Amino acid sequence: MQPNENSASPRTLTISAGRIVCPQTGIDEPGTIRVAGGRIASVSRSTSTDDEPVEPPDLSYPNGILLPGLIDLHAHPAKSGSVFGTDPDATMLARGTTTVMSQGDAGSNNIDNYLAATVQTSQTRVLLALNLSRIGESTAAGCFENLADADIDTCVAAAARHPGIVRMISVNVSHHACGDTDPREILRRGLIAAKKSGLPLLFGMRRPEDWPLEAQLRLLRPGDVVTYCFRREPHCIVDLKTGKLLPCVLEARDRGVRFDVGHGMASFSFEVAEAAIADAFPPDTISTDLQNRHEGQWPQHDLPLVMSKLAAAGMSEGDIFRAVTKTPASLLKLDEGCSLSVGSVADLVLLEREEEVSLTDARGESRTGLRFVPRSVIRAGQVVSQ
């Protein structure tokens, strides 16, 4: 079951690290965090002159980086009902992701079953980008192949029933998702559902030969999120001949549209990521699009691994840490478990940087870089792994 974030934990815990980093509060220095009752009770900086008694910490990582629990904005946590689903506690939580949002696994027809089978039985905090399609990702066929499944009214009603869980509306207009259905009509309906629900879209693009990318992005609103942003084909946000961002992409970001990685099985290219980052366009959020086809891969596909790939592509460490904590927390309107401030729910992850390894993108191209590895994970004050 999901832990009750307001209940008392039986254990007091102290964790020291060579770096405590919180993009929300601005702290970045050695220190110790004390956890009590499932919440952060104190944050002691090593440079502090307070005359407090010093006790040996329960967990000590002098070479580690202690962060708020990582937030994966786009993955497929589902214990049943989704063709892409993977158990979030088994494949995400122990790897540092304490909060994850499902990208369209459930629609209005199966949201109640999804909550019962996955959200309410997981220690991981699971949120949902509700699929505009009534059937969600419950079949191998595209979720919008039957236009009638793109039902505005039932989508809006389902979002209204579960405001604490549904944080976005998911609309993917890819060829696979739509089949012969007009993607323009799917996005039109998705925007209506999102507006009526007061929620942002999580949007998957269409290949430009079917529908110009400029025309797609022009329809999006401030706060909407474009995922698969570093894919090379069938759509690409970079002009690979010049290595520069497409003007329509820059215009969209200037308007407040946000861009998410969504690595997945086919949606991350080092060439695209390097060009975008060199052109001052790091992603707003880093996500895995983790699904059951990743199970058994080595190195294990997880959020720290995708963070490592972004670092190898030239993204700064500060931007990386913001993209897995502060920025997704803001987009999801989270006020718990996403900072290292006193009183916050104690969702924490301790990362270390391993020696240089070969990192591979979705196209099989490799770069060498240091790899972030999760050493300890704490969810609502409970030690999940160490």
Boundaries of every domain in the chain: 13-68+342-385, 70-331
Residues with Cβ within 8 Å of residue 282, at least 6 apart in sequence: 276, 310, 315, 316, 319, 323
pTM of the full predicted structure?
A: 0.94
CA dist., res. 126 & res. 133, Å (int):
20
- What is the pLDDT, as a whole number, of residue 335? 84
CA dist., res. 34 & res. 322, Å (int):
23
| Residue pLDDT, tens place only, 134-164 | 999 999 999 999 999 999 999 999 999 999 9
DSSP secondary-structure letter at 337? Answer: S
| Residue pLDDT, tens place only, 237-273 | 999 999 999 999 999 999 999 999 999 999 999 999 9
Model confidence at 54, in pLDDT bands (50, 70, 90)? low
| Residue pLDDT, tens place only, 125-135 | 999 999 999 99
- What is the pLDDT, as a whole number, of residue 49? 45
DSSP secondary-structure letter at 86? Answer: B
CATH class belonging to 70-331: alpha beta
CATH class belonging to 13-68+342-385: mainly beta
In the chain, the DSSP E strands lie at 13-22, 27-36, 39-45, 59-68, 70-75, 97-103, 125-131, 166-172, 201-204, 225-227, 238-239, 244-245, 258-259, 348-360, 366-379, 382-385
Average pLDDT for 103-112: 98
